[in-house]
Chains A and B, each alone.
Chain A
């Protein structure tokens, strides 16, 4: 990957809504070049999607409960952890799955409307998978920072309007 591609990725990682025209001007390249690079990176699956980071606790109950679940599993012969991980990440409630080093194997992030809904998912769907030995569910009480973004209102410009 070259430095132009890296610069573009950093820009849209911070703000996926930037228009191609704006990206082009910021980087001092043409709009056509910008489109070509974006197409290429999408094709190569370097860019996997464009999503928004939303504070669901504000005004809506949707996805308001998030839990991180530590999962211990028995790896299957030949496929290791991958097959179990796949069975888990296919569930739409699951937002993220990571293979971890340390005392447990998979870290699973779940979002639901209520704690009961998340609880049901863990007891009825996750724990019942054959290879799953145990689960430990941690509910997130408050999000302070997520994906590099701070969840707070305290970000207004504190500078005076005109200064030397």
Chain B
């Protein structure tokens, strides 16, 4: 891709990682017109108005300077209260919370704070596209553990055991999962926790979709017995409060790790944007009603899409959270890339090939239902028509 002599200046690490498969598909889809996109990994709502206004207010008041490295103390206190209230886990606002530039940065600094060169990180796949590359960039080795549709894409504890070597240090979890929407129940997490404790692992738990679960009460991993002090919790405002473009996330965890993360954060990022932090504060204090409204709408659309996929004979487990469905397209005989590309070309519907989320994503496509009911219905009609042509 990059030719000599320029490439000699690039680090071996960065040359070893591939650009995101999503990127390639994005380029293809954006070159076309009248596309109905089910490829969007973000809410279709605009950030609630009171939250937007809080950022205006912040600017009007002249808050245009840096905040503390770890984030506005007021915001950290509110995050602490929120974590206690919603998930029953206590974190000290002074020492155990860092406000970051999106949950993505939180994942990056978490990995960089704990990984020594060559140490292994178990990544549960299909997974968010950034996990494995971020592990590599931190000097670690990502070890994929596949999950399968017949288990509803739930990680089985024995799979972790099978993947553990003497270099294994971290288990990365994401529940609800992007792209499968799978939610790990309290029981699932307790079984995973036993293995984690037995093998003395650290867990990075990405809970960015925690507010978007539909069927049963959500259990946060650090709330599981003995797990608080071996978990770095990652979350943020993007999904629950429809704030993807604000780039605001946070990490919570035991003091020594969070203080190490803070070191990286202060030398590389200084702090998250100030006006976005004020907006996030408003979201936590007064935004819960909006979350409930948005969640209700996602739940209805999930039902619509699952129903439509069933009618057209695409098998699909019912995802308990996030806003994705991950149907199997195996019966079409196409690879997920071929399926997504042909669907885009023939019917102008963009879905994301499952293969970009790891080996076990093959045979599936990710469809986001964070799109209007009218567009969803039209997209489902088009997918059905497309299936008839195969």
Contact = CB atoms under 8 A, between A and B. Distances in A.
Interface string A121-164: 00000000000000000000000000000000000010111111
Contact of B304 (A26, A159, A162): A26
B37 interface: yes
A27 B307 CA distance: 11
A162 B25 contact: yes
Interface stretch (B40-48, B181-189, B258-266, B283-291): B40-48
A11 B297 CA distance: 9
Q: Which of A7, A159, A161 has the most CB of B within 10 A?
A: A161
Interface residues of A, number: 16
Given A157-B371, A162-B350, 16 more contacts: A11-B300, A22-B304, A25-B307, A26-B304, A28-B303, A28-B307, A157-B44, A161-B30, A162-B26, A162-B29, A163-B40, A163-B42, A164-B20, A164-B22, A164-B41, A164-B178
Q: Which of A11, A27, A164 has the most CB of B within 10 A?
A: A164
B387 interface: no
A47 interface: no
Interface string B236-268: 000000001000000000000000000000000
B379 interface: no
Q: How large is the interface on B (under 10, 10 to 19, 20 to 34, 35 or more residues)?
A: 20 to 34
A162 B373 contact: no
Interface of B: 20, 22, 25-26, 29-30, 35, 37, 39-42, 44, 128-130, 178, 244, 296, 300-301, 303-304, 307-308, 350, 352, 371, 373, 377
B160 to A, nearest CB: 25
Interface of A: 7, 11, 15, 18, 22, 25-28, 157, 159-164
Contacts of A15: 373
Contacts of A162: 22, 25-26, 29-30, 37, 39-40, 350, 352
B37 A25 contact: no
Contacts of A11: 300
Given A11-B300, A22-B373, A163 B307 contact: no
Contacts of B25: 162
Contacts of B30: 160-162
